[in-house]
Structure 1
Amino acid sequence: MKTSHRTLATAAAVLALAALTSCGSGSEPASDGTVTLSFMTGSDQSTVDTSKALADAFMQANPKIKVKIENQPGGSEGDNIVKTRLSTGEMTDVFWYNSGSLLQALNPAQSLVDLTGDPVVANVQPDYLRVVTQGDHVYGVPATAASGGGILYNRKVYEKLGLQVPKTWDEFMANNDKIKAAGITPVISTFKDTWTSQLFVLADFYNVQAAAPAFAQDYTANKAKFATTPAALASFQHLAEVHAKGYLNKGFGSATLDQGLKLLAEGQGAHYPMLTAILPPVLATSPQAATDIGFFGIPGTDAAKNGATVWEPPAIYIPKSTKNLEAAKKFAAFVASPAAAEAISKVVQPTGPYRVKGAKLPDNAIQVAKDVQAYIDKGATSPALEFLSPVKGPSLEQIAVAVGSGLTAPAEGAAQYDKDVEKQAQQLGLTGW
C-alpha cells in the first residue's frame, strides 16, 4: 500500500543529501576499541522515534558501540537514495527499508549480507522471515511492530447496540443495517484522501489467499486476475455494496482521513476500513480511542476461516559494504530481541504485535494492537499482497474511489485494475507479462 498516509518532514530531503556526503559504510574501530555504526532510517516521526529508541537502548547495552543515525525522505526519493548508496558501496552499516516485494529491487544477493541460519535471526517469528527472504536466503530482521488492515470499529457503538464482531460478510452487513437504523453512519469513507479507498481491496487479501492459496504466485506470473478470481473480485463488490446500501457517511467523496477518524472516535460512525497503524496520532486529541476503537479483519464467506490481513513491519538490513560487520550483526540481533520491543514500546505505541519471539505488547497496549495479536495467536493472518508480489498498479486508489462511489461497476473496476498492473509488471521484467 502506498505510504502517503505518513506525513514526511520537508527537511528530510536536505538531511538525505547531507547523508550522501557522509562517511558511508562506517569507520574502522577507534584505538580504544570503540566502533561507530552508521544507521540510515526514515524521517516520519514514528520511524525517527523508533530508530532513536533502538539506538539508545543498544548503546546502553553495548557501550563500546556508538550508533550514528542518518535520515532519508520517504517515497521514490528515499528509494533512489538507498539504491544509489548500495550500488556505489556508500551505504551505512545498517539501514531501515521495506520488507516484502520491494526487497527484490535492492538486488539483495549482490548488495546485502545473507543472514540465513545466522543467530541474528534466531528470535524472528518464522512467518515474518518470508517477507525478508529472496530465494532461500534471509536478509533482514523486523524493525518494529506489525499492523493490521481491516475494519476499525467503535466498541461503544457495538456495546450500545448489542452487536458482536462479525465473522462473515453477511454478519457484517446485518450489523450495518442495525447501526443505520440507530441513526449512526455504518461505514466511514474518506475519498478526499484517495489512498484510503483501497482498504476494502487490499485488506481483503487474507480471504483471497484462503480461497486461492496460490493467488499471489499466479498473480505475479500473470496466471491469475482480480476480475476472474471470485474471492479477489469480491473485494471490489464489497466497495460497491456498502455504497449501494446507503451505509456511507454524508460527503464521503470530500471527507478526509482526519475527519473519518474523528467520526469513528466520537461514535458518529461505527466502521472505518483502515490500517491500525493510523490510530496513534488520534490519541492526542481523543485518548478514549485507545480503548473505544477495536479492530477486526474484513469478513469473508466462511466463519470457520475468519482471519485478518497484516502489514508486516519494515526491516533492518546490513549491506555487504559495511566495514563493521560484527557490530552490525550485534545491532541487528538486538533489534530482533524482546529488549528492543520493550524499548520501542516506551516511546511509540505499537498498533500490532512484534514479530520477535518472546516480545510482548505492553500492558497498556491500545485495543487494536491486542485485537491484531489475537489473530496472530490463532494463526489466522496473511501478509498483504504487496508483501508477496511486486505487482501493484498505480491507479488502484482512483479505481476504488469510482467503484466505491457507484460510478464504476465492481467487475469493470477489477478489470481496469488488472489492466493497470500490466505496465508495471512489464517494467519489472516479470516472466509471463
Structure 2
Amino acid sequence: MQRKGWPALAGALLLTTVLSACGSNDGGDKAGSNNGAAANNGAAADNGAAADGGAAADDGAAADNGAAASDGAAGGAKSDKAFTIRVGAWFLDERPYMVQFKQDVEAAYAKLYPKAKIQWDVVLGATYFDKLKAQFASGSAPDVAFYQGVDFATSGNLADLSGEPWVSRLNDGAQKDAQTHAGGKTYGVPMGLSIGGGVWYNKQLFADLSLTPPKTAQELFDAADKIKASGKTPITLGFKDQWTAQMFFSNWLNSYGLDNPTLGKDVYDGKTKIAEDPTIQKVYQNFEQMKAKGYFNKNAISIDWPQSGQMFASGEAAMIVQGPWMPGANADNIAKGGFDTFDIGFFPLASDSGKVAMTLGSNEALGINAKTELMQESKDLVNLITTADIISPFMAGDGALTSFTDVSVTYSDPAMNEVQAAVDASTVLTSQFVSYLPASSITNLLDELTKVVSGVKFNAGDLKAAQTSLEKDKATVVLPAE
C-alpha cells in the first residue's frame, strides 16, 4: 500500500468522498466519509447502512487482548457519584450491532460508576450536525459527542485528548486521520478506518458470465457489455441521494488523478480551471459513455440508495458503487426481500492505465465537549469505548478496518478481506480533489454529473459554474494538511 499526502488523511470512510453532500433519507447512519460533504468542510457524512435496510453488517468481531480493560479507566477506581452523562450521535439506530454497542458501553461504564446514567442523545441523519453546532454555540452540547469534520476540533469545541492512554494504541492510519487530528493534537477516537467506496459485484452473476473483477476502465466497460447482453443491469445507481453520485465520481477521479496528484491544490490556487482540466473531463466522459451504452438503470436519478440496494440484492443489477457497509446491508436486503442468496465481491474503480487510488479514514469520530463539567467521567467513557471487547464488534458491524494496533476485527462476510487486499494494493490518499472545493462548487459538479447520467450530452463549458462557485466561496474551504 502506497500512501500519498500524509498526514492529512481525509478519507472514510472515505471522508471527502463519502462525506460530501450526503443526507440520510432512510433514518440510518448516512448522515454525517470515512466515509456527505467533504470532511474538511465539516459537513455531514454517510456511512451508509440504512436503518431499515442496512442491518448488522458483520457480527463476528475478534479482539486482541492489548486494549485496556473496560474497568481500568480512572486507575480502576470505582465511584458512587450519581450523574447523567450525555452522548450525542447520528447513527445509533436499532440495527443489532448498534444496540449491542450501547448495551456493552452501559455495562462497562456501570462498573466504574454504578450510579451513573448514560443518556443517548440520538438524532438520526444529517440534521444531527446542525443541531450539534447549535448546541456547542449555546453551551448545551453533549458531554461526549460522535462527530464528523475536523472543524469541530479546530473551532475549539472539542477537548485535547492527546494525553489519553488510547492515543498510543492508534495504528498508522488512525494517527493521521484528518478529522480526529489537527495541529499536532488528537481530538477524537477514529471508530475504525473506512474506505471511501468502491464497486461491489454479484459473484454468482460474474461467474455465470465468466467475468473477473475489472482492473482497468476498459475492462469495466467490457464487463458491462456482457452483463447488459445477458439481460441484467450492469450498474445500479441511486443518484436521488446525491452523496452516492459524489462517491462514484470522486472514487474514479481519485484514480485518474494519480497522474496529476496536485490537481486539487492547483485548482484551488487558480493554476488550473475546473472546466479546462482533461482529467476531470475524462471522468464525465466515462459517465457519458456508460449512459449512452445503457450500463445504468433507467431510473438512476429518481431512486435513492436503499432502492438501488434492493435492485442489487434482487439480482437485477450486477454491480453497485457503495461503501464498506454494503456486505451487511446486502445480506439484510436479501433476507427482508426473500431474494436468492449470493456472495458479493469488491474491486476499486481504476483508471485507463489500471492505476487505483483509495481514500481511507474514520467515518465516526468520538470526542469530548471541551466545556463539559464531567471531564474525567467523559474521558473514562471514551477510554472504555476503545477497548477491544467494545470497539471491535462495532468496527465489524460498520465494515471498518481497525484503527488500533491491538484490536483485530473478524468479518462475517469474506468480501471485507477483498477490501483489505484492495487497500493494500492501492495508493491510499489522505486528501482528494473535492477536499479543495467549497460545498457550492461540489454541488455544481454533481449537478452536471446528474445531467449526464440523465442523458444530457457532456459539455465541459457547463463546469464553469463550479469554477465560479470556487472563486466566490473559496474562503470557506478548510485545506487539507500538507
Which TM class, normalised by the smaller chain length?
0.7 to 0.9
Please give the alpha-carbon distance, in whole angstroms, between the structure 2 residues aligned to 1:333 and 1:289. 42
Decide whether the 8 Å contact of 2:238 with 2:302 is kept in 1.
yes
Q: Which amino acid in the other structure matches residue 120 of structure 1?
A: W
Q: Is residue 293 of structure 1 aligned with residue 341 of structure 2?
A: no
How much does 1:151 deviate?
Answer: 1.6
Decide whether the 8 Å contact of 2:192 with 2:362 is kept in 1.
no
5 Å matches for 1:2-401?
2-8=21-27, 32-33=80-81, 36-42=84-90, 45=93, 53-62=100-109, 63-65=111-113, 66=116, 67-75=118-126, 77-98=127-148, 102-104=149-151, 106=152, 108=154, 110-116=156-162, 118-128=164-174, 129-131=176-178, 132-144=180-192, 146-277=194-325, 280-287=328-335, 292-303=343-354, 305-310=355-360, 312-344=362-394, 349-364=397-412, 366-378=413-425, 380-382=427-429, 385=432, 388-389=435-436, 391-393=438-440, 394-401=443-450
* CA spacing shift, 1:31–1:358, aligned 2, 3 Å: closer
Q: Which amino acid in the other structure matches residue 69 of structure 1?
A: W
Alignment match, 1:26: none
Please give the alpha-carbon distance, in whole angstroms, between the structure 2 residues aligned to 1:380 and 1:85. 39
* CA spacing shift, 1:6–1:339, aligned 2, 3 Å: farther
Aligned with 2:397: secondary structure?
coil
**Which structure's residues are more often helix, by fraction?**
1
How much does 1:425 deviate?
Answer: 3.0
Aligned with 1:111: secondary structure?
coil
* CA spacing shift, 1:52–1:214, aligned 2, 3 Å: farther
Aligned with 1:246: secondary structure?
coil
* 1:133-189 deviations in Å (ceiling 9; x for gaps): 223322111235524412221111111112111121122112222222333222223
Aligned with 1:146: secondary structure?
strand
How much does 1:232 deviate?
Answer: 3.3
* 1:107-149 deviations in Å (ceiling 9; x for gaps): 6353221233543322323323331222332211123552441
Decide whether the 8 Å contact of 1:352 with 1:372 is kept in 2.
no
How much does 1:389 deviate?
Answer: 4.4
Please give the alpha-carbon distance, in whole angstroms, between the structure 2 residues aligned to 1:72 and 1:253. 27
Decide whether the 8 Å contact of 2:22 with 2:241 is kept in 1.
no
Could you tell me which runs of 5 or more consecutive residues in structure 2 were left unpaired when the two chains were aligned: 1-19, 29-76
Higher RCO, 1 or 2 (CA under 8 Å, sep at least 6)?
A: 2
Q: Which amino acid in the other structure matches residue 94 of structure 1?
A: V
* CA spacing shift, 1:312–1:213, aligned 2, 3 Å: farther
Aligned with 2:173: secondary structure?
helix
Please give the alpha-carbon distance, in whole angstroms, between the structure 2 residues aligned to 1:120 and 1:107. 18
Alignment match, 2:16: none
Decide whether the 8 Å contact of 1:108 with 1:134 is kept in 2.
yes
* CA spacing shift, 1:341–1:220, aligned 2, 3 Å: farther
* CA spacing shift, 1:5–1:40, aligned 2, 3 Å: closer
Could you tell me which runs of 5 or more consecutive residues in structure 1 were left unpaired when the two chains were aligned: 10-28
Alignment match, 1:23: none
Please give the alpha-carbon distance, in whole angstroms, between the structure 2 residues aligned to 1:340 and 1:261. 29
How much does 1:371 deviate?
Answer: 2.6
Decide whether the 8 Å contact of 1:152 with 1:272 is kept in 2.
yes
How much does 1:71 deviate?
Answer: 1.8
Please give the alpha-carbon distance, in whole angstroms, between the structure 1 residues aligned to 2:266 and 2:182. 17
How much does 1:214 deviate?
Answer: 3.1
Q: Which amino acid in the other structure matches residue 386 of structure 2?
A: A
Q: Compute the RMSD of aligned alpha carbons.
A: 3.5
Alignment match, 1:20: none
Q: Of 450, 462, 467, which residue of structure 2 is paired with 1:418?
A: 467
Give the number of aligned pairs: 402
Aligned with 2:405: secondary structure?
coil
Please give the alpha-carbon distance, in whole angstroms, between the structure 2 residues aligned to 1:352 and 1:43. 15
Please give the alpha-carbon distance, in whole angstroms, between the structure 1 residues aligned to 2:150 and 2:267. 18
Please give the alpha-carbon distance, in whole angstroms, between the structure 2 residues aligned to 1:312 and 1:342. 14
Aligned with 2:200: secondary structure?
strand
TM-score by length of 2: 0.72
Please give the alpha-carbon distance, in whole angstroms, between the structure 1 residues aligned to 2:268 and 2:390. 35
Alignment match, 1:18: none
Decide which moves more: 273-282 or 172-181: 273-282
Percent identity (aligned): 22
Q: Which amino acid in the other structure matches residue 392 of structure 1?
A: A
